[in-house]
Structure 1
Amino acid sequence: MNHEHLLPIGAAPIMSYEHHASPLTVISQSNAYSTWLYSNFVQLECEIQYPVKGDVGFNFLHNKHIYFNCPHLDYLRMSSTYVKHFNRGIVPFLIESVQQGYYPNVFLNHFYCPFEPSYQKYHYWAAFLVYGFNETERIFHILGYADGHYSAKTISFSDVELAFEYNDDSPVYKTMIKLFKYVPHVKDELDLPYIRRSLESYMASDGTIYPSRSAASCEPLVVGLECYNIVKQYLEKMLDRTKKVDVRPIHLLWEHKKLWVERLRYFQQQGIEISETSTMEMESLEKRMLTTRNLMIKLRITNNYTILAKIVEGWDSVIDEDVRCLSQVYEDLIKNEH
């Protein structure tokens, strides 16, 4: 008998970072989350020091913290110390979590992950989502980023035991285990006034309508359209070779526009009057950002920096197009409130 247990997974609509991809993979197993999805992810945030620091300083507002209050997700956190010292070990803990319908999200050391380029070369920690196991083959089924792609993999119980060990100086967030569980039969109501206020805030680069970010980074930041100017500075750092080529900010902007296209189509399906002009203009902007994202990938492969020079040169026109598209959408939303 093959003792395999697999939890259902969906297709995450946001893949920019693992902290979006993993929880969204869990809740996207059903379309029931669509109202929650399209009511959020309107606003963007960017740390002022992003051009210097890079990493995940440009993101959707509240980024990973938005999932704490998602009605479609049971979200738990615990210290790895508990699992290592007060439980029976990481492997039984992961197995029992999956059996209870939870998807463990755990940091593993790539040095012990055979599918990673860094395997047996250097130590690097990244998070993976466990969605199943096979006790006969003694493997876990996991999802995570390897070589730039979020994809499914398998890893042996013994390798997980090794990869789970942490150095004493590991950052706190790397020593936390998250447990996600899909909550079915939740009915959301679309809050058009909130979405309209979020859009208004985005266009005005004003984050005052949102709760405090005390749970998130305390770095000074900007929101909304002002993010474009900070991202441009980051692109200029890449252009003068003081920063390595990073596709992620452009990929995130493409996902932001892609979500807007899906959001407008969803509104139309719900009987909300959105002009076809708004939808077509947003689709055009989404395609432009996808092309730009693909050019960034080409730059990374070819090392042809004239590609990046052209992207920077045309950056202000991207902002103008975004303003034009969302101004029309804003007018549509105002009309639906009367």
Structure 2
Amino acid sequence: MILPIQIPELRCYQNYAYPLAIIMHQPAFLPWFHGQFVQLYCRKQFNQPSWYGRPELRLNFYKYDGPSFFPQLQVISLNQTFLDQQGISLNRLLSKSIAEGFYVVAHVNEYYIPNRRAYQDYHRPHDFFIYGFDDTSQEFHTLGYNHHGLFETLPVPMKLVDEGITSYVRFGRPASIYLIKPNVIDAFPFQLSVLVSQLMDYLQGTNVSRNFAQLHPVLDAAYGIEVYPYIEAFLDCVMQNEMRVDHRNFRLLWEHKYALLLKVAYLSISVPESH
């Protein structure tokens, strides 16, 4: 049983790459996509440890932190208590959910996941995407970054997926699993006014996190076009060997420009000249 996916061009971080893999192959969701992924943000104190424990610029889109931030997706969250009460194996629960049309995002310890950089080397908490299973080979079909840093589909033995999820508690965090299903009814049409508003926020360097202060903490970060002085300062630190190169920042910057080019192409075809 394999659910359809499309490997997205926007995939620097898995927290938005996984939801995009679910929706990008469905034409009904493309108008919404072309109105998104405009705003950038990064840490101002990039030479100080982040909550990950290391200095980093952490350039990213604002704000697509997981499937719950994608309105087309129905998301069911299963916590450790619920999992313990089900009376069936974890692998059986995952397979049954996929058979019912749900994609799976789970938190795992990648020490147990083959073809990941951490495999059998060090313990690393990470998100993990499953879109299919094979009962004959006892494998799950997964998508993510391999040990070479390539984003691709990978088969993983069910036994190791079970170990990876159950050992996640070693990080002092309860295991959690998200079951995700696209809702084609809620396709969300393209809105030019929303795109224009986002572009204005980008050009003005607006702290858009203030717009969501009742839902998320306001982030004292650089936004929009204001990220570029911090990127330059970060590169100066790299040149002085004060910080390590993080290729994700360059990948993210490319993805932002690529997304803007896609918007131009979409607008030229889909939006009347009178607009």
Q: Deviations over 1:265-290 (max 9, x none)?
A: 101111444xxxxxxxxxxxxxxxxx
Q: Deviations over 1:156-187 (max 9, x none)?
A: 11111211123546265x73322221222444
State the match for 2:63 in structure 1: 62
Equivalence map 1:243-262=2 (5 Å): 243-262=243-262
State the match for 1:78 in structure 2: 78
Distance 1:213 1:238 in 2: 34
State the match for 2:44 in structure 1: 48
Query: Which secondary structure does the structure 1 equivalent of 2:171 belong to?
Result: coil
Distance 1:205 1:171 in 2: 37
State the match for 1:270 in structure 2: 270
State the match for 2:160 in structure 1: 159
Deviation at 1:95, TM superposition (A): 0.6
- What's the RMSD between the two structures over aligned residues? 2.4
Distance 1:150 1:87 in 2: 35
Equivalence map 1:221-300=2 (5 Å): 221-273=221-273
Contact map agreement 1:46 1:58 (CA 8 A) in 2: yes
**1:18 and 2:2 aligned:** no
Deviation at 1:118, TM superposition (A): 3.0
Distance 1:236 1:164 in 2: 40
Q: Deviations over 1:102-145 (max 9, x none)?
A: 11101222221222343222211222210100111111111111
Q: What TM-score do you get using the length of structure 2 for normalisation?
A: 0.88
Equivalence map 1:187-202=2 (5 Å): 187-202=187-202
How many residues align? The count is 269
State the match for 1:319 in structure 2: none
Distance 2:250 2:83 in 1: 38
Distance 2:57 2:153 in 1: 23
Distance 2:35 2:140 in 1: 34
Deviation at 1:10, TM superposition (A): 1.3
Query: Which secondary structure does the structure 1 equivalent of 2:11 belong to?
Result: coil
Q: Deviations over 1:291-336 (max 9, x none)?
A: xxxxxxxxxxxxxxxxxxxxxxxxxxxxxxxxxxxxxxxxxxxx72
Distance 1:143 1:264 in 2: 29
**1:118 and 2:118 aligned:** yes
Q: Greater shift after overlay, 243-252 or 48-57?
A: 48-57
Equivalence map 1:303-314=2 (5 Å): none
State the match for 1:277 in structure 2: none
Deviation at 1:257, TM superposition (A): 0.7
Equivalence map 1:88-237=2 (5 Å): 88-147=88-147, 148-166=149-167, 168=169, 170=171, 172=173, 175-208=175-208, 211-213=211-213, 215-216=215-216, 219-237=219-237
User: Which has a greater percent of helix?
Assistant: 1
Distance 1:33 1:56 in 2: 31
Contact map agreement 1:44 1:61 (CA 8 A) in 2: yes
Instruction: Specify whether residues 33 and 204 from structure 1 end up closer, same or farther in structure 2 by C-alpha distance, changes over 3 A only.
Output: same
Distance 2:30 2:5 in 1: 16
Deviation at 1:217, TM superposition (A): 5.8
Contact map agreement 1:201 1:209 (CA 8 A) in 2: no
Deviation at 1:58, TM superposition (A): 1.9
Q: What letter is aligned with 1:227? A: V
Deviation at 1:146, TM superposition (A): 1.7
Q: Deviations over 1:71-97 (max 9, x none)?
A: 421122232443245452321121111
Q: Give the percent of matched residue pairs that are identical in Structure 1 and Structure 2.
A: 24
Q: Greater shift after overlay, 25-34 or 236-245?
A: 236-245
Instruction: Specify whether residues 57 and 245 from structure 1 end up closer, same or farther in structure 2 by C-alpha distance, changes over 3 A only.
Output: closer
Gaps of 5+ in 1: 274-334
Deviation at 1:56, TM superposition (A): 7.5
Q: Deviations over 1:34-76 (max 9, x none)?
A: 11111111111222223433557321112316x4353421122
Distance 1:111 1:68 in 2: 26
Instruction: Specify whether residues 264 and 171 from structure 1 end up closer, same or farther in structure 2 by C-alpha distance, changes over 3 A only.
Output: farther
Distance 1:85 1:239 in 2: 54
Distance 1:23 1:209 in 2: 21
* Rg comparison, structure with higher value: 1
Distance 2:95 2:234 in 1: 42
Contact map agreement 1:26 1:182 (CA 8 A) in 2: yes
Q: What TM-score do you get using the length of structure 1 for normalisation?
A: 0.72
State the match for 2:4 in structure 1: 8
Query: Which secondary structure does the structure 2 equivalent of 1:200 belong to?
Result: helix
Instruction: Specify whether residues 262 and 109 from structure 1 end up closer, same or farther in structure 2 by C-alpha distance, changes over 3 A only.
Output: same
